[in-house]
Amino acid sequence: TCGGTPWLRLRYPKCTAPGPLRDLVAILVLPATTFKIKPFMRPINCHGHIMSLFKKRKNTKVTLSAFPFPFSHQMKVKVLSRNPDDYVRETKLDIQRVPRNYDPTLHPFEVSREYTRALNATKLERVFAKPFLASLDGHRDGVNCMAKHTKSLSTLLSGSCDGQVKVWNLTKRECVRTLQAHEGFVRGMVVRSCGTSFFTVGDDKTIKHWKMEAPGYGEEEEPLNTILGKTVFTGLDHHQKDAVFATCGQQVDIWDERRSSPIRSFTWGVDSFSAVRFNPVETELLASCASDRSIVLYDMRESAPLKKVIMTMRSNTLCWNPMEAYYFTCSNEDYNLYTYDMRYLDQPVTVHMDHVSAVLDVDYSPTGKEFVSASFDKTIRIFPKDGGHSREVYHTKRMQHVICIKWSADNKYILSGSDEMNIRLWKANAAEKLGVLAPRERQATNYSQKLKEKFQHHPQIRRIAHHRHLPKSLYHQTKELRVMKEARRKKYVNVRKHSRPGSVPLLSEKEKHVVTVVK
């Protein structure tokens, strides 16, 4: 079959032992003169293949001399061959191409890797937790009350114990205006809903109405209106929309802005009130904290108060939840905060514990998910609205008893006014990066946030996320309180054990602090 040419070779498939020549399909007869390279060393077993040979070398003379198989003999083969152009960027100016394949078998250890990421994210969160931003100093006495501007995020008003009111620019962190509003304490302050003026009450039994903008050059600092009351006012709040405000002192008064005498006065056998707040949604409703350990609810349209709940200790202030306005939280003298549903006052919805001294002020975040509390124990704590314990505690060496607290309207900052004449600006989220985030940065933070949430109950992550440094005194006080509580519990258990069954009821923490509800 070789036709006398010396360049022909036959080859068998290698895979098996040499068998019959079944793969030999065609034999090429190649004259030496036209073909320079070594003769082909391969069997040819496909029709197309031979045709391509014809095309490749036109001057080659090919003679097909043996055909054990018909030409239909075909082998189909495809081997992975990627075009790098599909995977590599075209120019240096482009971003890199990242093909994705989400096949789970290509990504093993999904859970462990996510856990590791969550652990890293939690650690980084603690590393970057630097909540303190600025201290605004300028008051010459302790800061007694603060008010958020209703229209401007960067404006804050503060009143001190020497009767001075200061208006602050928070972005520049400087005082833009100072006025001597009262003699003695400034007890309460509120900005009108339009944002053009504000009210102050003080120990000098006056209510003063001020313009928001500073007086022009040469003009004297004078209130728009001054109302002289009969008794000392201790608190003040303005209606959401109407030209009506409420003050508290020996009684709760509702005032029309245009009149100099209250349009309504509420008393319920109580000698003094410490705070009054309008409901942000049901705008005619008010709540006030009285010194007889009660919280009283009023309807402005009615002549008598609605109902009150009497607790074991006095509440200092209260704040309505801005989103679910049937909830309010009150800060109590017994180191706790209580969230009540105003429809069911017989027991609080949640008891928030963690402070080790009286809680002086509370303010909700605008989202209504969290609130911040200021305490006599020189700390600020942030609580989730339905959590019994705080998620965060802020303190500094220099901050004394925190008297007033505000959560900024953009949900990012917390402002605290304390005894040692300073107003402090804190981040609401200690590890948050301020400023504009790039989209990828935001994506990364969102992702790590989700991961932290997903693995939050794992002991290692939980331990790191919950760890907070506390001043030594506070730490020991916490411990002491725990011991005291445990002792009380033990005693109660013993009392129960040695009493007639059923005579001493088992009280839950929520039930313990409510004395009665009066309607």
Q: How many residues at the interface with another protein, by CB under 8 A?
A: 49
User: Which has the closest alpha carbon to 404: 136, 173, 153, 216?
Assistant: 136
Site for another protein in 28-57 (CB under 8 A): 42-43, 45-46, 49
Contact between residue 141 and residue 166 where contact means Cβ atoms under 8 Å apart:
no
The interface with another protein within residues 114-133 (CB under 8 A) comprises 115-117, 120
Of residues 81 and 171, the one with the C-beta less far from another protein: 81
Cα–Cα distance for residue pair 361/147, rounded to 1 Å: 13
Residue of 36, 55, 58, 100 interacting with another protein (CB under 8 A): 100
Q: Which of 9, 11, 398, 476 binds another protein (CB under 8 A)?
A: 11
Angle at 443 between CA 440 and CA 447, to 5 degrees: 140
SS3 call for 496: helix
Q: Which of 37, 75, 93, 436 binds another protein (CB under 8 A)?
A: 75
* Residue the block writes with tokens 């990504």: 107
Q: Whose CA is closest to 399, among 417, 387, 413, 412? A: 417
233, 246 contact by CB (below 8 A): no
Give dist(CA 412, CA 366) in Å, integer: 10
Quote the least distance from Cβ 41 to another protein, whole Å. 8
107 binds another protein (CB under 8 A): yes
Separation CA 105–CA 70 (nearest Å): 44
Which of 355, 343, 391 is closest to 371 using CA atoms? 391
Q: Does 74 sit near another protein (CB under 8 A)?
A: yes
508 contributes a contact to another protein by CB under 8 A? no
72 lines the binding site for another protein (CB under 8 A): yes
Q: Which of 295, 197, 287 is nearest to 246 (CA)?
A: 287
> For another protein, which residue of 18, 20, 108, 439 counts as binding (CB under 8 A)?
108
Part of the chain binding another protein (CB under 8 A), chosen from 12-20, 283-291, 337-345, 427-435: 12-20
Closer CB to another protein, residue 88 or residue 507? Answer: 88
Among positions 112, 171, 503, 508, the unique one binding another protein when judged by CB under 8 A: 112
**Helix (H) or strand (E) run with residue 112 in it:** helix 110-127
Q: How far is the CB of 372 from another protein (least distance, A)?
A: 23
- Closest CB to another protein among 359 and 465? 465
Angstrom distance (rounded) from CA 191 to CA 186: 14
- Shortest spacing between CB 80 and another protein, in angstroms: 5
We find the least distance from the C-beta atom of residue 451 to another protein, in angstroms, to be 11
241 touches another protein (CB under 8 A):
no
CB 404 within 8 A of CB 416: yes
The smaller minimum CB distance to another protein, of residues 264 and 510, is found at 510
**What residues between 435 and 474 interact with another protein by CB under 8 A?**
458
How far is it, in rounded angstroms, from Cα 424 to Cα 418?
A: 8
Does 105 help bind another protein (rule: CB under 8 A)? yes
Query: Binding residue for another protein (CB under 8 A) from 20, 38, 80, 94?
Result: 80
| Residue 52 CB partners (closer than 8 Å, separation 6+) | none
- Least distance CB 94 / another protein (angstroms): 12
Residue 170 to residue 148: CA distance in whole angstroms: 11
Footprint on this chain of another protein (rule: CB under 8 A): 11, 13-16, 23, 42-43, 45-46, 49, 72-82, 84, 86-88, 96-113, 115-117, 120, 458
